[in-house]
Amino acid sequence: MPSDNRIAFDDLVACQGCDALHYRVTLDVGERARCDRCNVTLQTRKERSIDRSLAAVIAIFILLVLAFFLPFLGLYRAGVESRISIVEATIGLFMSDFRWLGLSTLLFLVCLPLLRLVLLAYPLLSIRLTRVPTSAQRCAFRWSLLLTPWAMAEIFMVGVAVSLVKIGTVARLDIGLAFWVLLAVIALSSFLESALCRDTIWEALTPR
């Protein structure tokens, strides 16, 4: 009888650089597998990835919520003082003629980052507490990865930096606490990306 030589998809990994297929290998902590053709990293296994990623997600979530409501910027001109938070600025844009700008700010600065953190925290907490993988956990983790390019606070901060340079020529600025909190969020986001090991999490979410 002919033997079945078919290979399961889970046993293969495709290179993101050249699409070459490789057999998935078992790595020790700290090791990584690279593509034989273009040397792009195929697999990684980072130390304590789940615990470190979960701690970063919780910290970023708390800091983001604080940043939305703390004073972000203060303006002083002709004896008049004005302070505003990110939420107040978003509401002000939505209630004015810049409704679509306010809606975009609410979506990309508030809703999507928080949604991505919740979707990422759910499978990480489930792995840490129950260690029973489900399809809902895998779906949440997949969507958290898809939302990553749309939830970047650093893009907002670049726009703010450009605006501060222009506004600083006509008024005196007072940078609020929320500005520094968002800088901490950006730093923690970089730490999260370095600590998050997708291969380790997918392995933990795969039914055995």
Q: Torsion over CA of 173, 90, 53 and 32, rounded to 10 degrees?
A: -90
Residue 29 lies in a domain: yes
- What domain range is 91 assigned to? 49-205
For 21, residues 6+ apart whose C-beta sits below 8 A from its C-beta are 12, 13, 14, 15
pLDDT score recorded for residue 78: 65
According to the model, what pLDDT value does residue 144 have? 93
Whether 80 is in a domain gets the answer yes
User: Is residue 4 a part of any domain in this protein?
Assistant: no
The tally of domains found in the chain comes to 2
Q: In which element (H, E) is residue 99 found?
A: helix 99-105
- Residue pair 74/173 in contact (Cβ under 8 Å)? The answer is yes
Asked whether residue 160 falls in the same domain as residue 88, the answer is yes
**pLDDT of the residue at 10:** 64
- Cα atoms in the Cβ-side hemisphere of radius 13 Å centred on 138: 11
Same-domain pairing of 120 and 151? yes
Answer yes or no: do 55 and 135 share one domain. yes
Strand 21-23 relative to strand 32-34, pairing: unpaired
Residues 98 and 163 reside in one and the same domain: yes
**In the prediction, which pLDDT does 124 show?**
93
- Residues 73 and 58 occupy one common structural domain: yes
What pLDDT is attached to residue 123? 93
Tens digits of pLDDT across the chain (208 residues): 444 556 666 677 777 778 777 777 777 777 778 888 788 777 777 878 889 999 999 999 999 999 888 888 777 766 666 777 888 888 887 888 778 887 887 888 888 889 999 999 999 999 888 777 888 999 999 999 998 887 767 777 777 777 667 666 666 777 888 888 888 988 898 899 888 888 888 888 887 6
Statement to judge: residues 55 and 151 lie in one domain: yes
